[in-house]
Amino acid sequence: MRNSFEKTRASRALLLVFVCSLLLLIVSFSTSVSAQADNDSDTPADSILALAAPAPATDLKAFDTDNDHGHSITIEWTLSADDGAGANSVISYRIMKSESPDGPFDSVGLVPLGATSHVNSSAIDKNSEGYFSDNTDYYYRVEAMTTNAALFSSSEIVGPVQSSGQWFNAGLVPVLIAILIFTILTMIFVQLAKKGMDLYVRPLAGIEAVDEAIGRATEMGRPILYVLGLGSAADIATIASFTILGRVAKKVAEYQTELNVPCYDPIVMAVAQEVVKSAFIDAGRPEAYKDDIVHFITNSQFAYVGAVNGIIMRDLPATNVYMGKFFAESLILAETGAAAGSIQIAGTDEIPQIPFFFVACDYTLIGEELFAASAYLGREPELLGSLKAQDYAKAVLLASAIIGILLINIFPDFGETFKSWFEVID
C-alpha cells in the first residue's frame, strides 16, 4: 500500500490483463474445440496447459531497509520478461522468505504486476503476526505468478540478509543542521542580550493593551477573566499562554484587581495555579492568592464554553484575555464578551479561529505573535534575544525560498536538489 494511486491503477490493469487472458483462454478453447471436431486426438486440457511458465524476475537484491527501527528488509528485482511484454502472462509477484537457503519458503507478500520492490517488515512487538527478529539470516526469492496458480517461475535465491535498526536517520540531516543553526543563533543572541546589546522590538498593539486593560479593570472595580483555551499542557500554545498569565497575574496582584481563570484541562489547571501563586508571591502579595482563582470546570468543550459565557454575563469582567488553543468556541466567547462590554484581547495559533477573534475582539495576536508575547511582556534581555534569533531564522528561511525559486527557474537540476532538502518526510 505504499502508493495506492498506483495500486488502483495497477488493479485496473490487473483487471484488464485478467479479462484479456480470459478472452485468450476462451479463444484458444473454442479453437481447440473446433480443432477437436477436426481431430479427436487433441484434448482441450493440453492446449490450456500449453501456456508456458513465464520468465522469472531477475537481478534480485535484498538489503536492510534504511533509516528505520529495524525488523524490515527491502527486496528489489527486475521485471520478468513476460510482465507487460513477451507473453504478458505475469499478473503478480509473490515474495517468499526462509531462514535457510534450502527452504521451506513462506509467502510474506504479494505485489501486483509492474512492481519492482517490496518491503518485508514487522512490528516491534514480538507477539505480532509475521514478526521476525533483527540480526537473523534470511533468504528470499520472488515468484512471478500467472492466472494459473500452478504456473509460476522462481527467481534465484538471495541471502543471507539481516535486518537491523539504525541509530540515526540519515534522511533527517538537513533538519538536524537547521535545528542546530537555530539553537546556536538563539544562544548567541541570548548571550549578546545579557551583555547589554540594545534590542529593538516593534510595538504590538495587543500587548500594549494588556497593561491598560488591567488598569481599566482596577478603576472600574471589575474582574479580569483569563481563558487558557482548550489546549492541554502538552500544547506549546498553552505553555506560551502560561507565561502571559504569569505576567498578567503579577500585575493583577500589584493593582489588587480580581482575577478569574476557569480551566478546561486538569493538568493545565494545576500548572496555572502554580503560575498564579508564584506571580502573587513575586508581587509581594501571597496572602491575596486563593486556590479558587484558577478552577476546573469540565473537560467538555461546549459545557466549558457555556460556563464561561455565564461568568462573562454575570461578573461582567472589564477585560477578557483569551490566549492559547481555541476552536469553534472562539466566536461564542468573543461575541458574548462584546455584548457584555468587556475589552477583549485574544491570541491563538489555531489558524481557522484567528479571523473570528480578529473580527470580534479589540486586539488579536496573530499566530506567531502569541509566542512572541512573553518576551514583550517580560522585557527580559534573554527573551528578547531569542526573539532576535527567531527573526534571523525567518530571514534564513525566506532567503532559502527565494534562492530556491531562482535556482529552480535557472538551474532546474540543482534547484530540485535544493528543494529536496526542505521536503523531509520523517
Q: How many whole angstroms separate alpha carbon 389 and alpha carbon 104?
A: 61
Q: Which is nearer to another protein, 38 or 129 (CB)?
A: 129
Specify the long-range contacts of residues 265-274, CB closer than 8 Å, at least 24 apart: 265/230, 265/231, 265/232, 265/233, 265/299, 266/296, 266/299, 267/232, 267/233, 268/228, 268/231, 268/232, 268/233, 268/238, 269/294, 269/295, 269/296, 271/233, 271/242, 272/228, 272/242, 272/245
Q: How far is the CB of 224 from another protein (least distance, A)?
A: 17
Helix, coil or strand: residue 157: coil
Question: Which residue type sits at 128?
Answer: S
Q: Which is nearer to another protein, 44 or 367 (CB)?
A: 367
Q: Which is nearer to another protein, 35 or 175 (CB)?
A: 175
Dig out the grid coordinates for 130 from the structure.
509475521
What is the per-residue DSSP string for 19-46?
HHHHHHHHHHHHHHHHHHHH-TT--HHH
CA triplet 396, 398, 404: central angle to 5 degrees? Answer: 100
Question: Which residue type sits at 348?
Answer: T
C-alpha atoms less than 13 angstroms from C-alpha of 250 in its C-beta half-sphere: 13
Q: Beta strands 138-145 and 92-98: pairing type? A: antiparallel
Q: How far is the CB of 62 from another protein (least distance, A)?
A: 19
Q: How far is the CB of 425 from another protein (least distance, A)?
A: 6
Q: Which is nearer to another protein, 141 or 388 (CB)?
A: 388
Q: Which is nearer to another protein, 7 or 285 (CB)?
A: 7
Dig out the grid coordinates for 139 from the structure.
533468504
Q: How far is the CB of 55 from another protein (least distance, A)?
A: 27
Q: How far is the CB of 20 from another protein (least distance, A)?
A: 17
Indicate the DSSP class of residue 296.
E
Q: How far is the CB of 158 from another protein (least distance, A)?
A: 22
Q: Which is nearer to another protein, 91 or 237 (CB)?
A: 237
Q: Which is nearer to another protein, 92 or 243 (CB)?
A: 243
Q: Which is nearer to another protein, 100 or 183 (CB)?
A: 183
CA triplet 211, 217, 222: central angle to 5 degrees? Answer: 155
Q: How many whole angstroms separate alpha carbon 336 and alpha carbon 317?
A: 11
Q: How far is the CB of 128 from another protein (least distance, A)?
A: 5
Q: How far is the CB of 351 from another protein (least distance, A)?
A: 5
Q: How far is the CB of 56 from another protein (least distance, A)?
A: 26
Dig out the grid coordinates for 91 from the structure.
499478473
Q: Which is nearer to another protein, 157 or 239 (CB)?
A: 239
